Amino acid sequence: GMGWGSRNSTSNYVYNHIGSFGASAEGACRSILLSGVPWRFPKLRFAFLEGGVGWAANLFADVLGHWEKRNRNHIGHYDPAALDRGKLEALIGEYGPKAFRTRIDRLDEALALLSDPDEDRASIDEFARCPIEKPEDIAEIFTERFSFGCEADDPMNALAFARNLTPLGSRLRAIFSSDIGHWDVPDMSGVLPEAYELVERGLLDEKDFRDFVFTFPAQLWQQTNPAFFRGTAVESATAAL
């Protein structure tokens, strides 16, 4: 996300760099999901690299919350045609502050911000490209089809495994990676120990850590090409997954 949005400083690299990979990954992920791509290509897997998993946990919760309130069966709650205009004006007149009462003639402007009465009815269902029938359909995409590349030093990696925080008690597919060769890895020998600090702090258990550094990355490659690890030192270990 460097160079667009709020990350346009001409003098501060850190200002532009912080959160930039997550911002661009979030935009791409949101577009892929709402365009229905995962359902059109059910065998396709997606990996969003370098941005961590914190943004993904937030997006997962946001998509679920929006779908619950704005899916095709609930969007009618915001239909301006169903509004009792007389009752609303009466309530504003009785209980509204003076600033509202003296501007009652501008009510149409305010309501249009929330729901356009002239909107094309065919475009109202913004989840139309996504065959979502229940919350678990969204969870399946985020937990089985999407993977999220995480840097070893990111403490937010623990969110992927925090079932008490993520929707539906889910675990996200965080995959271990590092920026060896870049400025944020001053000592390459400390990469894996730094990732393991989450276990030492009680934020991940041993199974979580194994999934993070081995199972989830291996499955990402194998799901696309089952023979990916054939002839390698980890052939037998990956074959058992």
Strands 46-48, 146-151: pairing is parallel
pLDDT in the model for residue 92: 95
Q: How confident is the model at residue 168 (pLDDT cuts 50, 70, 90)?
A: very high
% pLDDT > 70, the chain: 100
pLDDT in the model for residue 35: 98
Please give the residue that has the higher pLDDT: either 179 or 36: 36
Residue 118 has pLDDT above 80, yes or no: no
Residue with tokens 């998993």: 53
Q: How confident is the model at residue 111 (pLDDT cuts 50, 70, 90)?
A: confident
> What residues does each domain of the chain span?
13-71+141-239, 75-123
pLDDT in the model for residue 197: 97
Residue 82 has pLDDT above 90, yes or no: no
Question: Which parts of the chain fold into alpha helices (H)?
Answer: 13-17, 20-34, 37-40, 54-70, 85-95, 98-101, 107-114, 135-140, 191-200, 206-210, 216-224, 235-239
Q: Tens digits of per-residue pLDDT, 142-152?
A: 999 999 999 99
What are the b/e assignments for 34-73, b being 16+ CB within 10 Å? eeebbeeeeeebbbbebbbbbbbbebbeebbeebeebbee
Q: How confident is the model at residue 102 (pLDDT cuts 50, 70, 90)?
A: very high
Mean per-residue pLDDT over the chain, rounded: 94
pLDDT in the model for residue 110: 84
Contacting residues for 2 by C-beta, under 8 A, at least 6 apart: 16, 17, 20
Among 18-32, 68-82, 201-215, the minimum mean pLDDT is found in 68-82
pLDDT in the model for residue 122: 80
User: What's the pTM value of the predicted model, to 2 decimals?
Assistant: 0.90
Please give the residue that has the higher pLDDT: either 32 or 178: 32
Residue 117 has pLDDT above 80, yes or no: no
Quick one: average pLDDT of 180-199?
A: 92
